[in-house]
Amino acid sequence: MRGNDEVNHMLKYFENNLRYDGRGLKDFRDITYELGVVKTAEGSASVRFGGTHVIAGVKLSIDQPYPDTPNKGNLMVEVSLSPLASENYMPGPPDIDSVEFSRVVDRGLREAPALDFEKLCIKEGEAVWNVSVDIVVINDDGNLIDVSGFAAMLALLNARFPKVVDGKVDYHELTDEKLPIKHIVVPTTIFKIDKYFFVDPILEEFQLSEARLTLTRRDDGKICAIQKGGDYPLKKEDITEMLALSKEKFDELIKIIKEVSQ
């Protein structure tokens, strides 16, 4: 990979703390969002990091709890990668990237935990709320884990419980009751190529990166999930630097989300 002309060309930019779109290595692209964009969802958010665009929607349903957690609600997260988002994706069952991205976002929300799952219990052992977060990638221009996680958290904050009449959910009418948010959760992924570390890659940078480390933190700064990606190993000193950069970028993202939650 290091002999690849594309990589060598990119490294010439990186030597001067410069990227193809004019940013520095540690700079995010412009971040924009809109809430309540899906009228058939109980909560939703449209998020753009530069050219990367995803929409997250939250659906709530009543179901039986899992046998090992009879007093807790359920959470499911799915990231959908369709050919509309990129020529790299094919129609059909979820591919390996879709599965990985879904699991990373899900694990961060679950392990934090983002939700107070006990408050999602309606009747222990019999009925709980299911919280399904569906993330649809509209355009993939890199950094899908961070953008998807950011959108999922905004959608959860935006969600309201639907009205329940005689044990049946009326999806035509939402109440004013919000989901029981316990922690705000945000993933930040640090990428590495050669000796350089960078964040929020465009698609070309993502494809050429050698390794990445996703660290999901909650609002008190505690790390609740870690995921290593890429083909190359990381040294101890690499991880130390990536941890520090991740915390710095997390502080930027959590500030945006906290403005929404207030």
Task: Give the integer Cα–Cα distance in Å for 129 and 135.
Answer: 19
pLDDT in tens, 106-144: 999 999 999 999 999 999 999 999 999 999 999 999 999
pLDDT in tens, 10-25: 999 999 999 999 999 9
Residue 83, both tokens: 């050919």
Q: CA geometry: angle at 227 spanning 60 and 76, to 5°? A: 10
Can you give the residue range of the structural domain that contains 254? 5-261
Split into its structural domains, the chain has a count of: 1
CATH number at 37 reads 3.30.230.70
Instruction: Report CA-CA distances (Å) from 94 to 89, 101, 134, 146, 156.
Output: 10, 11, 13, 19, 23
Q: How confident is the model at residue 58 (pLDDT cuts 50, 70, 90)?
A: very high
Sheet holding 211-218, edge to edge: 196-199, 185-193, 211-218, 223-229
What mean pLDDT comes out for the span 1-9? 76
What mean pLDDT comes out for the span 29-52? 97
> Residue 143 burial by CB count (10 A; 0-12/13-18/19+): exposed, middle or buried?
buried
- Residue 143's nearest CA partner among 193, 188, 111, 92 is 188
Residue 118, both tokens: 């006990």
Instruction: Report CA-CA distances (Å) from 27 to 113, 156, 191, 208.
Output: 28, 26, 12, 18
Asked if the bond preceding 162 is cis, omega within 30° of 0, the reply is no
pTM above 0.85, yes or no: yes
What mean pLDDT comes out for the span 208-226? 96
